Amino acid sequence: MGDTARNPVTWLGSPAFPTAAKTALADDQLRRNLKHATGLIRTKRAGAVAELPDWEQLRLSGEAIKDDVLANLDTYLLRFEESVAARGGTVHWARDAAEANEIVLRLAREAGADEVVKIKSMATMEIGLNEALQAGGVTPIETDLAELIVQLGNDRPSHILVPAIHRNRTEIRDIFKAAMPGTEDLTDEPVELAAAARAFLRRKFLSAKVAVSGANFGVAETGSVVVVESEGNGRMCLTLPETLITVMGIEKLVPTWQDLEVFLQLLPRSSTAERMNPYTSVWTGVTPGDGPRDFHLVLVDNGRTDTLASTVGRQALRCIRCSACLNVCPVYERTGGQAYGSVYPGPIGAILAPQLGGDMHDKHAASLPFASSLCGACFEVCPVRIDIPSVLVHLRAKAVEAKPKYSPEAIGMAAMSWVMAGPRRFRAAQRLAVAGRLLSRGGRIRGLPFPGSKWTDSRDLPAPAKESFSAWWKRTRG
């Protein structure tokens, strides 16, 4: 597959997860930053959730609503399109990232914009919109503080909710001083950092003709679009520019306002540990004299229809991007998000990115389902009850099926099957395995020569017992 046809949900050139994880594990500062941040968020979320005695019922409701939407997605999408159009909005359909980017770039040019302000959006990151806009001569300006830090630092995000979680405030100060004129005397005090970002962004808000947003939810019955955020930058983007372009995944729908109520309780407590989001913006089409004069909604498929076809994997489309699964994952806490090489890191990324990418022959994508200990903590905190461990196991099977027939793993498994099919061969192998104790240290074997190194590169082995069970039985019971 050529680069032009590649789904940008995973970053081009990223190594497979085991290789990237080794690099991340060697970064002590990164691990300290992650441990502090995820521990703090985890504790606050547990407190916020404990306030609601009907939390489990809310989770069940969220799961049921999302499953209904996925089962009847065609009906809800057409209803949503009709409602948006009836209120003055224009709906565009995009089969993939390339189509979505072409639509947004064309709309920005038609509005006469050479710069657009953006609200934090996973959908636009998924399709690589910033890169497409820049290539087309339109400069995107991220207005979410963490996204701005990532953009100014020429960095990549490492968390769905807190994209700059891998940066401490001293590093952020250095990024601002390098990218923002007039900040030579800036300190690393949070108040000063926030003030510098506010002054930088205010000029952008007031001059932008076009804003680009994502969407947390779309309400099918009225055509309303919902964005929740914590900084107020979204409200500025949604009200000041003349043209608003919203890029939204087709699975983001809820049928009614009553259904939305469930998610406005689940999302803030799961993501930022708040009872409600500080800013909840809802718009329905256009209103003369109030807000943008033109509203365009780009509905993006980009692998979602194929994901929907999987009876096991489709539950990943329930995700509301709260990132609670990241904050409890022992693998994420140690490697950070960039090791996943995808806009969707952590446990949800390990099941979402390979499915949206749709190519298990891609070594990078195929490695993601193995980036888990299968401890199940992600399922326990998921507000819409996505059984991530089950999907991981399902995708691991897909990854193995996609491997060449004569891969080292396939040959090794075939050899083991042949050995275990014959009693004499099996006993001989047991005696040989006992010799493996010579390679152990502290009861574990941590390195084997090729082809055994393919296993020990990412895991160790218990040292073989001094005596097999069958040999012990024969010796003690005759």
What's the angle, vertex CA 76, arms to CA 74 and CA 81, rounded to 5? 95
pLDDT digits (tens, 9 = 90+) for 40-50: 999 999 999 99
- Split at pLDDT 50, 70, 90, the class of 7 is confident
Of 239 and 460, which is predicted with more confidence?
239
How far CA 273 is from CA of 41, 43, 282, 364, 410, in Å, comes to 7, 9, 21, 33, 46
Residues paired with residue 30 on neighbouring β-strands, in sequence order: none
Take residue 322 and report the two structure tokens written for it: 């709260």
The reported pLDDT for the residue numbered 441 is 85
Q: pLDDT, tens digit, for every residue of 70-108?
A: 999 999 999 999 999 999 999 999 999 999 999 999 999
Please compute the mean of the pLDDT values over residues 143-164 and round it to a whole number.
90
pLDDT at position 5:
59
**Backbone phi, then psi, for 54, in 5-degree steps?**
-105, 30
How far is residue 157's CA from residue 341's CA, in Å, rounded to a whole number? 10
CATH of domain 52-302: 3.40.50.10420
Rg, C-alpha atoms of the chain: 25
Residues 6+ apart with CB under 8 A from 100: 94, 127, 129, 247, 298, 300, 302
Q: How far is CA 328 from CA 4, 34, 45, 182, 321, in A?
A: 36, 11, 11, 40, 15
Cβ within 8 Å of residue 270, ≥6 positions away: 45, 49, 320, 322, 324, 381, 383
Model pTM score: 0.87
* pLDDT for the residue 404: 85
Identify the bridge partners of residue 105 per DSSP, sorted by sequence position: none
CB atoms under 10 Å from CB of 169, counted, come to: 13
Here the tokens at position 439 are: 């390679």
**Per residue in 366-415, pLDDT tens?**
999 999 999 999 999 999 999 999 999 999 999 999 988 887 778 888 88
Q: Residue ranges of the domains in the chain?
A: 52-302, 408-477
pLDDT number for residue 454: 74
Q: Which residues have a Cβ under 8 Å from the Cβ of 247 and sit 6 or more positions away?
A: 100, 104, 121, 123, 124, 127, 129, 212, 213, 214, 215, 298, 300
CA angle 70, 72, 75 (to 5 degrees): 130
Q: Average pLDDT, whole number, for the chain?
A: 92
Q: Which residue has the tokens 């372009």?
A: 245
DSSP secondary structure letters along 134-185: HHTT-EEEE-SHHHHHHHHTT-----SS-TTTT--HHHHHHHHHHHSTT-TT
Query: Is residue 302's pLDDT more than 80?
Result: yes
